[in-house]
Amino acid sequence: MKVLYVALAAVALVTVRVALFRARRRRRATPPLDEPSEPSGPSQRSGLAPVFGALEHSLGDVGLVAGREIRERVRGRIFRVGTIIMLGGVAAAVVIPTLHKSSGPSIQTVGVVGGLASDTHQIVLIAGEANQDSVKFVTEDSVATAKADLRSDKVDMSVVDSSELLLEQPATASNSPADPGMVTDLAEYLGVLQAYRQAGLTAAQVKLVSGAKPVAIHVLVPNSKEATKAISIIGLVLLFFMLTQYCTWILIGVMQEKSSRVVEVLLAVVRPLQLLGGKVLGIGAVALGQATLIVGFALVLGASVGSDLLKGTAPLALLSELLWLVLGYAFYCWVYAAAGSTAERQDQVQTLALPLSLPMLFGYIYSVTVASTGHTSAFFKVLAYLPPTAPFCMSVLVGLSQVTWWEFVASVLITIVSTGGVALFAARIYRRAVLRTGGRVRLAELIGRPAR
Amino acid sequence: MTSLMGGVLQLQGLRRAYGPVVALDDLTFDVPSGQVVGFLGPNGAGKTTTMRAVFGLTDLDAGTVLWNGAPVRQAERRRFGYMPEERGLYPGMLVGEQIEYVGRLHGLSVSQAAQATTTWLERLEIADRRRSKVETLSHGNQQRVQLAAALLHDPELLVLDEPLSGLDPTGIDAIGQVLVDQARSGCCVLFSSHQLDLVEDLCDRVTIIDHGRLVASDTVDALATSGPRRLVVRIEGDRTADWARPLAGVTVSEVVGGAVRLVLDPSIDSDEVLRAAMAAGRLTEFTFARRRLSEVFREALA
């Protein structure tokens, strides 16, 4: 069944890829000359026309700029291939672990040589139940018959005189029909039963001892800890990858508009904040759409295959990471936009990108470490309240259930307020720097009197 | 398609300094409606800064930009068209979509933008490149795309920074005719260029600036007929104009192909020049000439 799910996921991915490939070929095959009588604006050509129309109608110039960003980004090969790769990675992370799990109840046919006492019969059933196996008994006339039935796969294992187990080959062998878990348990139980008898226990005493119930077990961390840890790390990787990608888009996009002088044509019509706001909004919408698609895909696929990865607090951690993707993007995009407005060339962008990514990189690496070990520290908790590292650290704390709702809300509020301040500062830098040409603009030159 | 609404652009006392460098120094001039105005000046004279100031792309230390007597704001700029010197285009965007996008920002609806894009691409003879990426176009065609984007919304004022540079003669004719047609339909057209002969052919009016200051601004006719008189004298076999150099109050402007171009001081009697020329050899041409724009330009900057 799980193989079927994997196959279906693979088919879905391939189908999406083929559809995209065909769509691109169709576009290329379209005659170059458009029909003049037919309105052919980008909003009308796109299947997302109502969305773009609403966006542009409600937000005016900001909506127009955002609409252009969305169209250009979604059309880009990097976005489409990246989305498919991420969906494939998520599918693999969700499905593959389930392939190694027991695949549910099975029937174990047990040959019996020399009959079974009632307590022994009961023990065989318990061993089967413990391993999700239902047991079917077959009476064997002799050991030779039992061996013959084992070889012909009529039985999976045989119990000889209630004191010995007989298998065709080791239970752990890949083609052994015997459930290795049941074989191990049954061997242990029969050994204990023999010990009871050798100790001289009466049947009633044996029954009492055999029926002993285990004491209660209390755990400090829910039993899905491993699953939550895994999903938390997967989420962190995606969060880091996506934040880096979208912020780099902003950085390069602003630089390219400046270097190609498109910004002059645009700012002759719209205000700098409208242009910047539209760009941030457009790329942010693409980011949110892609992340929602991936999280939704993970949740649906996980539920379909019964993945442990999405049990316990894992879905909460995923949703938290989705929220922190939005908040992290909102915080960082302004910083990257301001930085991009000071550069004119690709090499200048590369020089800027490294220092800008350091806080993100630090938060990411530290968070992955903590998510792996489960050991937090006071310093880590402080980082969960600082906007540059909160997207990573707070997500981990949620996954580990080490944060209360009000602490989470406090961190969100701090990030939102900080984002407002950063946006105002970045918009000021952007306005002053984006029209200045002739080399990279230093931050010190942008603080003070207007200089464009 | 084109607007018949007139308007006057007035630049009053513009001043802009970048540190110790003064880009604009109390610059004042008008661009009347229905005229093509050539905006001239040597490199670094402040032409681009002036044009950017019209669109609020540079902060002014002093001065105002007025449209029909009122300060220019974003609403007015939506009705203007602008073409920067270095082409302002998204390299990876499709030609048609790029033009439509700029048109939408100027307030056109989706259908209006699409229709106007079709019209202008056909008029500028690049309709077959509508679905090409801008970066795949030649320099000249990119300029046509840029011009289409500036014209799409039927602007009342068109400001073009070096629109003719790098174009072949066909391109110059096509774009030049568009500028003239726009002006004849009531649009204000201001464009900068270093191709003075083209400016003389296309423009009704010329404004010359240097070091951010206005040095001349008038109609082409007025500038051509103003200043000292000019004579074109051709003497058979003469390639040096040595006969004219000793004459007081006469300056040899240039000698091209045997034709000597002379500039006369107001006190000089042209008969004296005629006598000297006849004495130098067989006279084949003796004509009063208008000032060329190149002469106006050089003399204004002298």
Can you tell me the ipTM of this complex? 0.85
CB contact under 8 A, B59 and A451: yes
Residue B188 near residue B167, CB atoms below 8 Å: no
CA distance A248 to A352: 10
What is the average pLDDT across A329-354?
Answer: 86
What is the residue extent of each domain of chain A?
2-30+76-98+226-447, 106-219
Give per-residue pLDDT as tens, A266-286.
999 998 888 999 999 999 999
Give pTM, 2 decimals.
Answer: 0.72
Searching chain B, which residue's CA lies closest to the CA of residue A431?
A: B57
In angstroms, what separates the C-alpha of A286 from chain B's closest C-alpha?
18
Q: What DSSP designation does A257 have?
A: H
Rounded Cα gap, residues A105 and A179, in angstroms:
11
Angle (CA) A294-A295-A296 rounded to 5° is 90
The residues in B 78-137 lying below 8 A from A, measured between CB atoms, are: 78, 80, 82-93, 96-97, 100-102, 104-106, 110-111, 113-115, 118-119, 122, 127-132
Minimum Cα–Cα distance from B19: chain A residue = A451
Q: pLDDT digits over A7-16, tens only? A: 555 566 566 5
Please tell me which residue, B173 or A414, carries the higher pLDDT value: A414
pLDDT (0 to 100) of residue B191:
92
Nearest alpha carbon to residue A343 among A247, A244, A439? A439
Whether residue A418 is predicted with pLDDT greater than 70 in this model: the reply is yes
Cβ distance of A39 and B129 shorter than 8 Å: no
Cα separation, B143 vs A258, in Å, equals 18
The answer to whether B176 and B124 are in contact (CB under 8 A) is no
Best of A262, A432, A434, A442 to substitute, by most chain B Cβ atoms within 10 angstroms, is A262
Residues in B closer than 8 angstroms to A451, CB to CB, are 59
| Closest-approach residue (CA) in chain A for B102 | A266
- Distance CA(B113)–CA(B63), nearest Å, equals 35
How confident is the model over B8-47, as pLDDT tens digits?
A: 999 999 999 988 889 999 999 999 988 999 999 999 899 9
The tens digit of pLDDT for each residue in B142-163 reads 989 999 999 999 999 999 999 8
Write down the pLDDT at residue A294: 86
Whether the predicted pLDDT of B114 surpasses 90: yes
Task: Check residue B250 and report its DSSP letter.
Answer: E
Range of weakest confidence among A166-170, A323-327, B57-61: A166-170
Model confidence at A327: pLDDT above 80: yes
B19 to chain A, any CB pair closer than 8 A? The answer is no
Give the residue with greater pLDDT, B4 vs A203: A203
Backbone phi, psi, residue B153, to 5°: -95, 20
Closest Cα to residue A140, out of A129, A131, A152?
Answer: A152
SS3 content of chain B, % helix, strand, coil (to 5): 35, 30, 35
In whole angstroms, give the CA distance from residue A344 to residue A354.
Answer: 17
A439 has a pLDDT exceeding 70: no
Would the CB atoms of A262 and B90 count as touching at under 8 Å? Answer: yes
Cβ–Cβ gap A41/B52 under 8 Å: no
Question: Ranked by mean pLDDT, which of A152-161, B58-67, B82-91 comes out on top?
Answer: B58-67
Find out whether B295 and B223 touch, Cβ atoms under 8 Å.
Answer: no
Helix (H, G, I), strand (E, B) or coil at A176: coil
Give B191's strand partners: B38, B160
Sign of the torsion angle spanned by Cα atoms B97, B101, B106, B107: positive
* CA distance to partner chain B, nearest, from residue A44 (Å): 8
Å between A29 CA and nearest CA of chain B: 11
Q: Quote the minimal CA–CA distance from A36 to chain B in Å.
A: 6
The pLDDT, as a whole number, for residue A16 is 59
Contact B126, B119 (CB under 8 A): no
Classified as helix, coil or strand, B235 is strand
**Structure tokens of A317?**
């951690």
> Which of the four pLDDT bands, split at 50, 70 and 90, describes residue A43?
very low
Quick one: which of B133, B129, B132 has its CA closest to B120? B129
Q: Count residue pairs from A and B with Cβ separation < 8 A.
A: 106
Give me the pLDDT at residue B239, please. 86
CA-CA-CA-CA torsion for A98, A100, A106, A111, nearest 10 degrees?
-170
* Structure-token pair, residue A309: 């990865």
- Which string of DSSP letters, residue by residue, matches A351-395? HHHHHHHHHHHHHHHHHHHHHHH----HHHHHHTTSTTTHHHHHH
User: Chain A closest CA to B197's CA: distance in Å?
Assistant: 28
B153 touching A (Cβ < 8 Å): no
Query: Which residues in chain B have Cβ-Cβ distances shorter than 8 Å to A34?
Result: 96, 118, 130-131
**Chain A partners within 8 Å of B122 (Cβ):** 36
CB pair distance less than 8 Å for B131 and A34: yes
Give the pair of three-digit tokens for residue A173.
């062998």
What phi, psi does B44 have (nearest 5°)? 80, 10
Round to whole Å and give the CA distance between A441 and A258: 12
* CA A434-B48-B156 angle, 5° bins: 95
- pLDDT category at A177 given cuts 50, 70, 90 is confident
What is the per-residue pLDDT for A201? Answer: 80
Q: What is the pLDDT of residue A121?
A: 86
Q: What is the pLDDT of residue A34?
A: 38
Whether the per-residue pLDDT at B104 is higher than 90: the answer is yes
**Nearest residue in B to A39, CA atom:** B111
pLDDT bucket at A321, cuts 50 / 70 / 90: confident
Predicted pLDDT of residue A303: 81
B100 with A30: Cβ contact below 8 A: no
Pairwise CB contact (< 8 Å): A56 & B104: yes
Comparing A39 with B122, the larger pLDDT belongs to B122
Return phi, psi of residue B176, to 5°. -60, -45
Token pair of B119 as six digits = 């019209």
Class of domain A106-219: alpha beta
Asked if B74 reaches chain A (Cβ–Cβ under 8 Å), the answer is yes
